[in-house]
Structure 1
Amino acid sequence: MEKKIDLNGVWKFNKDPAQTGERESWQEGLPQGMEVTVPHIWQTEGGSLLHYTGMAWYEKEVSIDQPGTGKKIHLHFAAVDYEAMVWINGKYAGSHEGGFTPFSIDITDKLNETGQQRIVVRVYDPQDNAEIPIGKQGSWYTRVSGIWQDVWLEINEELFIESIHVTPDCDNEEAKVTVTLSEKPLEPVLAHISCTPYPDDSDKDQATRLEVTLPEKKNTFAFSMKGAEQWSPDHPALYEIKAGIKNGEEDSAVFGMRHISFSEGTLYLNGKPLYLRGALDQAYYPDTIYSAPSDEYIINEIKQAKKMGLNMLRKHIKIELPRYLYWADRLGMLIWAEPPNYIKWTKQGTKRFEQDLEAMIQRDYNHPSIIIWSLYNEEWGLEWTLSKDEEKQTHVEELFDRVKQMDPSRLICDNSGWIHVKTDINDYHRYFTMPEQKEEWEKDLDTFIVGDKTLNFVDGFESRQEPVIVSEFGMWGLPDVEKLFKHYGGEPWWFQNQGDETHNEDYKSPKTAEVNFQRFQFDHMFKDFNELTDVSRKRMFRGIKSLIQEMRKRKDLSGYVVTEFTDVEWETNGWLDYLRQPKFKPEEMRTFNGEVIVVPEVSKRNAWCGDTLVIDLYFSNHSHHSLKGDVHWGIPGTDLKGSFPVHLNAEPVTELKEAIRFSVPEVTGPELKDLRLQFVENGGNNCEVTEELMFAPKVKNLSCRFYPAALSSETVQAFEQMGGTAVDSVSEAEVILAAEWTPEAAQGTREGKTVVFFAEQGDEIPNKGYYSFKQLPPGESWQRSSSMQAVNKTFFGEVPIRKELGWEMEGLYPDCIIPFTDYSKEGGRTVYLFGNPHYAETSDILGVYFEGWIGQVGGSFIKQSVGTGTVYVTTWKLLENLTSQPLAGHIIKQVID
């Protein structure tokens, strides 16, 4: 390349909703328009352009003379979404289809002699985008259209170097270099090749040189890299290879020497086991939508990721910006690359998808940070029939083979997260909430994810002992809304969900929270919305920590990818918020996401005084080194503490059974406690962790007469052991304790009694009056991972329940709720059901469940005035765990007292 001319900056822009521009000769010059700055996403202009789809035009005048004899001028676009047609001085020059990939057009013969050249680009982004690769733009989040990446001119000789691809061969200490020329030369061309460390900051000449002959358009040769340093996240050593030919044309490529592979279920990077601690990254930005604002912005993101213990980002259904990949190479961040999906399975849609996939691989081939290519994500584009559609199975298998032939140096995931056909990565997308679903998450890990790998393959296709990765999981934590409003100078446009009808549920819209915060008495539980968001992030931290700890205990996993790195508009499961502010302290994240962590497995988090607690310790060590040190533990507020030496081999998981044992001390009432544990390694590295406990005395002073309505004899006996007295009639009772809504329960309301209705079985209760219940999704559920539960702490007095509910409620979390808002029930067909907001209007809400932005709201504990009596209805599993969970009795006592 002789010269490069930057064309970013001010362009003229005009939309063309009637698509009459070409008929009216706009290609010769726009008749009117606004000034915009390219790179430009027209949705960032707001107003009518926010939802505009269709045709728009760009124009720029530049001063450039015709090149000399034997020279060419090419107009380059890094990406235009979606279709671009280009005219130079009113003459049609060329077109390109594909919203994420680069293209260039030879405009040499379109230039005029005046030196003033008019470039006109018509961009078309169709409203119906089901058959074009789009990713999540427009379906989940704000759409993206326009000349959204760089534009420039290059002046070249007629014969020039089109590309350089470098394939590292670490075993043989050499690199396979492929130099592609613009055309096959008339006779072989001599090329001078040199290679230096990158960046080359040395005053000394460090270049290794080679002369080769290039007889073809595409030429491949070996280049010695003897003694070269290998690229890794801890040591991102890079090299730059330069190629020059006799006419003065030069090109260069930056690459790294690294090798990624797998064997018998283990990932290897440069011959060493690799454990992925990744995050899904959708690479949306608060102001610029799809473009990172600056290099500094990118650098800050990657540095924050590394501080939190992450070593990989999975770039989710978006071909990432070249500058991001450059800095991932420089700073040492592994990348899992994934092309944008289409939606509708057609020959046209598949063709466009494959073209984008191949263009992505061609463009990004040299980045050592990229270790995995994905083909599909969750069958998006395959219409979710892969398991039974042989045509699609053949398509996926052949596409895997084609990509492997294009790039044998990387691993390939055929269908991320869902059922596989042919793959190098056996990955799973599994969403559970913690602490509520601890047993379900453990069972899913042991019986499905690592228990039987054949369950994740289409019938007739077999596992090749690929590494197992949980490549999506996560929980939500709401952001600081005041900061968002301050940043935007008001309400962000995306507070009204910008997705299509498939993603417009109430919990996905921040506008929902504005209405429901007061409507459902959250203002009685929290001083303001900011306090609610604060405790939701505490819940998120607790849940993510527990989900990851369970994975780190299992040696058969090769890593995980949390959903997600940053919030994206309404989706708030990021470790950073949308403004790239951390929701948690990085050092706190490393307690469960570091290279070496310790995981306590407590036999019983909620224990009675006098119980013996046993704690097993799991050490997850991915340092490749054996470690020696001491464990120090203690429970503040008690005399319980201790220490002991530990020697860990260089194994991924080491288990110490019954490492800690103690008797629970006496307390006067239930108390929340923390187990604090630290592993101090002799080399100076520490890892620490804090786990929630609760100690409680048994309830002995339940001094009331109660009528047992449909209670089992065992439950009646338990209440009597707590100090209560069972009576034979409602009139004798002070309180009716009911497992069903019996005539006696109704009688109690007429006689001014207190009735506690333990509705934990929900719609399975044979007699439940007019109460209707909503079953919470059992097992894996993306929607439930957005959920949170909260309580009115004032009502519960001295009973130690956190506002957002923590491990103190283990075993008591409800399986169902009283629905306040409308909801749907999945079965043979989707059934749409009504909630009952009247309960919220006529009750005191003491416990509540909601999803996302205070959508899908329901009560788990309410207090009503019925007749002349008082009724408490709760779906907490208090009766089921009355004799095993210490807090259950104390909650019931608080209600009765």
Structure 2
Amino acid sequence: MRLKYNLNGHWNFKLDEHDIGEKDQWFSRALAYEKEVTVPHIWQREIDLVNYTGIAWYEKQFELQESFKSKRVFLCFEAVDFHSVVWINGELIGEHEGGFTPFEFDITDAISFDGINRLTVRVYDPADNAEIPIGKQGSWYTRVSGIWQDVYIESRSGIFINNVHVHPNIEEETAEVHVNISGNTNNIKLVEYSITNHMDTNHILTLEDEFDEKDLVKKINIPNVQLWSPNQPHLYDINIKLKDGNNRLIDEYKTYFGMRKIEFKDGQLLLNGAPLFIRGALDQSYYPKTIYVAPDDEWIQKEIKTAKEFGFNLLRKHIKVELPRYLYWADRLGMLIWAEVPNVIKWSKQSMKRFQNELSFMINRDFNHPSIIIWSIFNEEWGLEWDLANDQEKQEYVIKMYTYLKELDPTRLICDNSGWNHVKTDINDYHRYFTLPEQNSEWKDDLDYYIINNPENNYVPGYIPKDEPIIISEFGVWGLPSIKSLLEYYGEEPIWFHNLGDDTHREDFKIPLTAYENFKKYQVNKVFGDLENLSKFSQKRMFRSVKSLIEEMRKRPQINGYVITEFTDVEWETNGWMDYTRSVKQMFENAKNFNGNLVVMANVLKHNFWSEEIFTCDVIISNHDLLPISGELIWQISGTNISGVIALNEENKAYIQIQDAIKFAVPVVGDASFYHLKLKLILENGVEVENYEELTFSTKVEVNPVTVFPYKMGNQFIEKLKLNGMSITNQFEDAEVVITNVLDAAVNHYNRRGGKVLFLAEEGDQLTDKGLFTFRRLPEGESWDRTSSFNYVDCSYFDGLPINKEMGWELEGIFPDYIIPISNYNKLGGTVGRIVYMFGNENTPKVSRILSGYFQGWIGQFGTSMIVQNNSSGILTLTTWKLIKNYGEHPIATRVVNKLIENLISGKA
């Protein structure tokens, strides 16, 4: 019925840096263009325009077929960023603002059917975009400007269907169809509804109804209804025809929908009445060469299938209106979607008007996608200027927007302000960034005492939770990608290596080029050899960390789900499970072992054991699909004959805890070493899942007697030195090594005269006497910046000890709170959180051997937690690892101190 003419392809293009085009009437004649471009077109894809903001002109010439002549003709844009003015044959047609959603113009009276038509579009994307819905484009990552989605012409009757919204009702097995019509409806007498299974021509039902109003609402019974879910994503096509009194067709409109229901009750999400547990990933939908659009449908399908292979059932489309084709494949393949409108930056009446318009258009366009189960209004108060808790006007606005959305769409859940202070919401979600194993105890406490036991803390004072489901909708850790692979993919160094975000996101660790500069300068090369090797260790560490973060959440049934940050890397931000080119990072092919619908976990309380200690732990089964757990659990300690089998016959519960399931005496081992506690769950229906925990076992060994002076150390530490075979003196001149947490004149004098000093500086800035060393306290508690960090160690200095280069669970409880800063850094000072600019010491790597380093992101914010310095005759080893209280108790801490003493005696540096 409707004819469509695609206008994608070659267009003429010209910049208008001085805004003279409209004054000089470029629209009135053929454009004196600078280049030919292919629409859809993001001009930042061109290297010379990557930083250009302002005005550009597009022109396309076309001829229309005679068949268009008897209809109204509409010019349709899927999205243009940001402001558009449109002319046909020099005649002004209209203008539009908003960069993410469709708009159209009736051009019937402006076009010619007898020759060539000239379409001219002036696009303005201003540099000052604070009051424009932008999301992260231009602020964090590459900006997007231009006619970046499809353009086409469509013929319609004078009376036509604008849109169709389908409200599924699974209890009644009905679909309530809302039809919105444009034009004079007097001639419409009948409306025909035809429903089929998706891509099936056999009608399930066809019925006609007499027309009696402009906005039709028709409740249609669907026989033998099939529900939509991620496991069975069944879709229905619906074709609606408008007919006149002679049964002649006036207009027809096709769309599709799914029968599903999303709700919550008593803190539990329900999909089609059954418990739903979210296993999601933040997806910013940026692409390495095409920026804001997926290269093709095959790319989209592969992404969704990979997400399912990882164990995800949801993608949170982060502050971007997703492409309709992506949403189609999410519907078709069964991937849940959490959708968010792009944020503005500045709070103003104008920005909120634009924001609400974009949100409304997004919901109108995407209403029928069954995959979308949640709409977000705000993200972390972006656009509310981070003052929601103190501003009643903004609180009232959030409530107003929640109510407005519920009226627009009563079929979905709404999150008012993702991650932070809530006012009125269906989801109590949190953004919590912790780094494991460094912050293991802090993460557990945060889950138990902040999130689970005190959910009201996540609401604006005066508002309380009402059993909304708890979801951790952002968390994660960085893992550096292979630079070699990126260069091979691009064929050259990508421009975003310079970081194309604004000044608020240009710290050194967010700029990939920093890695080239600092890799050798800070001695990182001495541990990892090259950047390619560093990326492998960084990814291994990332895998361990997110595995543990997720497992701790799954051990707590009060948490209804989580959304990892993030699905893929985006330019400089490298916390994706795939890199920017969609290559899976190391070890993540096994992600389903901790991120699948069925997961078995050992609830170990610590990871490092002495021989003959008694190991005991519970086993927890997280069972999101509510499978009957009938079968057996097999466990084994790798490299030993220690194992066991546990018979299981449990109901189909979401959470099962088997107390003291595993118990054994740690064997006497020849030397400290790594071991794995391996778990395998085998169910009678053939389902098998595996998992593991990393452990170390150590046997206490005698050390060569060394005379040490524990200068100003506590009695408890001194006694532990004795128990470990050290001879104690209280005189500098008798000491082979001085061990101290004080660097005063006496120690410096001893060191300069050839003495060997082990300076245990774990208290950092709390030390009164620390010589000329300065320290930086690492962020405590929740910290996005810290999740980009990487602690590493030169294992060659600790030969024979089970320590990974990417410091892991073997150093649980030992990780430093302080580092010696080498690069400059900032910290927040005072109750108002003003930035205090602090300084590092770039000279440290020139005069020290760095044994253990800390950096963020792309080797920025660098510091060290262990160094060796030689003066003319003495040696000083300084470490901020937490060794004093752990010595004699923690097997690896004990061996580390003994090894540091041994290396000082031997003069190793």
TM-score (norm 2): 0.97
Match of 1:780 among 755, 767, 782: 782
Give the corresponding residue for 1:233: 230
Alpha-carbon distance in 2 for matches of 1:664, 1:68: 82
Give the corresponding residue for 1:148: 148
Offset from partner CA, 1:815-854 (integer Å, 9 cap, x none): 0100000011211221101101111111000000000000
Give the corresponding residue for 1:218: 215
Give the corresponding residue for 1:316: 318
Query: Which of 350-359 and 613-622 deviates more?
Result: 613-622
Alpha-carbon distance in 2 for matches of 1:113, 1:149: 26
SS in 2 for 1:623: coil
Letter in structure 2 aligned against 1:324: Y
Give the corresponding residue for 2:115: 115
Give the corresponding residue for 2:173: 173
Match of 2:206 among 182, 206, 209: 209
Q: Does 1:881 align with 2:883?
A: no
The aligned runs of 1:254-265 (5 Å cut-off) are 254-265=256-267
SS in 2 for 1:408: coil
The aligned runs of 1:495-514 (5 Å cut-off) are 495-514=497-516
* Maintained 8 Å contact 2:64/2:113: no
The aligned runs of 1:446-457 (5 Å cut-off) are 446-457=448-459
Q: 1:593 Cα deviation (Å)?
A: 0.2
Alpha-carbon distance in 2 for matches of 1:896, 1:282: 50
Give the corresponding residue for 2:45: 44
Offset from partner CA, 1:299-321 (integer Å, 9 cap, x none): 00000000110000000000000
Offset from partner CA, 1:763-811 (integer Å, 9 cap, x none): 0011111111000000000000000111111111111210101100001
Offset from partner CA, 1:227-286 (integer Å, 9 cap, x none): 110000000000001011223421111100000000000000000000000000000000
Give the corresponding residue for 1:182: 182
* Maintained 8 Å contact 2:7/2:152: yes
Letter in structure 1 aligned against 2:724: M
Letter in structure 2 aligned against 1:849: Y
Match of 2:427 among 410, 425, 445: 425
Give the corresponding residue for 2:906: none
SS in 1 for 2:606: coil
Give the corresponding residue for 1:687: 689
The aligned runs of 1:798-809 (5 Å cut-off) are 798-809=800-811
Give the corresponding residue for 2:246: none
Offset from partner CA, 1:534-589 (integer Å, 9 cap, x none): 00000000000000000000011110000000000000000111001111455510
Alpha-carbon distance in 2 for matches of 1:826, 1:785: 17
Match of 1:653 among 639, 652, 655: 655
Alpha-carbon distance in 1 for matches of 2:724, 2:893: 11
* Maintained 8 Å contact 2:197/2:203: yes
Query: Which of 701-710 and 235-244 deviates more?
Result: 701-710
Offset from partner CA, 1:388-423 (integer Å, 9 cap, x none): 100000000011001001100000000000010000
Alpha-carbon distance in 1 for matches of 2:464, 2:791: 42
The aligned runs of 1:287-366 (5 Å cut-off) are 287-366=289-368
Alpha-carbon distance in 2 for matches of 1:869, 1:172: 84
Match of 2:868 among 856, 863, 869: 863
Alpha-carbon distance in 1 for matches of 2:210, 2:18: 54
Distance 1:585 1:542, change over 3 A: closer
Offset from partner CA, 1:361-406 (integer Å, 9 cap, x none): 0000000000000000000000001001000000000110010011
The aligned runs of 1:757-776 (5 Å cut-off) are 757-776=759-778
Q: 1:670 Cα deviation (Å)?
A: 1.0
* Maintained 8 Å contact 2:724/2:888: no
Gaps of 5+ in 1: none
Alpha-carbon distance in 1 for matches of 2:578, 2:451: 28
SS in 2 for 1:557: coil
SS in 1 for 2:241: strand
SS in 1 for 2:515: helix
SS in 2 for 1:164: strand
Give the corresponding residue for 1:272: 274
* Maintained 8 Å contact 1:165/1:253: no
Q: 1:206 Cα deviation (Å)?
A: 3.2
Distance 1:723 1:76, change over 3 A: same
Alpha-carbon distance in 2 for matches of 1:216, 1:125: 41
* Maintained 8 Å contact 1:669/1:697: yes
Give the corresponding residue for 2:859: 854
Distance 1:279 1:644, change over 3 A: same
Q: 1:637 Cα deviation (Å)?
A: 1.5
Distance 1:66 1:389, change over 3 A: farther
Q: 1:478 Cα deviation (Å)?
A: 0.5
Offset from partner CA, 1:589-622 (integer Å, 9 cap, x none): 0110010101101233101111011011111011
* Maintained 8 Å contact 1:507/1:855: yes
* Maintained 8 Å contact 2:14/2:32: no
Q: 1:69 Cα deviation (Å)?
A: 6.8
* Maintained 8 Å contact 2:632/2:646: yes
Alpha-carbon distance in 1 for matches of 2:698, 2:420: 44
Offset from partner CA, 1:461-483 (integer Å, 9 cap, x none): 22111000000000000101101
Aligned residues: 893
* Maintained 8 Å contact 1:700/1:721: no
SS in 2 for 1:400: helix
SS in 2 for 1:826: strand
SS in 1 for 2:388: coil
Runs of 4+ in 1 over 6 A off after TM superposition: 66-69
Give the corresponding residue for 1:791: 793
Letter in structure 2 aligned against 1:314: R
Q: 1:188 Cα deviation (Å)?
A: 4.3
Alpha-carbon distance in 1 for matches of 2:333, 2:537: 34
SS in 1 for 2:186: coil
Distance 1:68 1:81, change over 3 A: closer
TM-score (norm 1): 0.98
SS in 1 for 2:303: helix
Query: Which of 790-799 and 122-131 deviates more?
Result: 790-799
Q: Does 1:468 align with 2:470?
A: yes
Letter in structure 1 aligned against 2:506: N
Give the corresponding residue for 1:58: 58
Letter in structure 1 aligned against 2:190: L
Q: Does 1:836 align with 2:847?
A: no
Alpha-carbon distance in 1 for matches of 2:20, 2:885: 70
Alpha-carbon distance in 1 for matches of 2:634, 2:154: 63
Q: 1:743 Cα deviation (Å)?
A: 3.2
Distance 1:155 1:187, change over 3 A: closer
Alpha-carbon distance in 1 for matches of 2:559, 2:189: 51
Give the corresponding residue for 2:288: 286
Q: 1:750 Cα deviation (Å)?
A: 2.1
The aligned runs of 1:580-599 (5 Å cut-off) are 580-585=582-587, 587-599=589-601
Alpha-carbon distance in 2 for matches of 1:220, 1:258: 19
Give the corresponding residue for 2:901: 896
Alpha-carbon distance in 2 for matches of 1:124, 1:225: 47
Letter in structure 2 aligned against 1:225: I
Q: 1:95 Cα deviation (Å)?
A: 1.1
Alpha-carbon distance in 1 for matches of 2:180, 2:890: 70
Offset from partner CA, 1:62-102 (integer Å, 9 cap, x none): 01157667620000000000011100000000111100000
Q: 1:500 Cα deviation (Å)?
A: 0.6
Match of 2:403 among 394, 397, 401: 401
Give the corresponding residue for 1:369: 371
Query: Which of 334-343 and 1-10 deviates more?
Result: 1-10
Letter in structure 1 aligned against 2:876: V
* Maintained 8 Å contact 1:66/1:112: no
Q: 1:186 Cα deviation (Å)?
A: 2.1
Q: 1:449 Cα deviation (Å)?
A: 0.9
Aligned residues: CA RMSD: 1.2
SS in 1 for 2:846: helix
SS in 1 for 2:576: coil
* Maintained 8 Å contact 1:476/1:540: yes
Offset from partner CA, 1:723-778 (integer Å, 9 cap, x none): 00111211100000011113332132122121000000000011111111000000
Alpha-carbon distance in 2 for matches of 1:884, 1:156: 80
* Maintained 8 Å contact 1:758/1:874: yes
Q: Does 1:603 align with 2:605?
A: yes
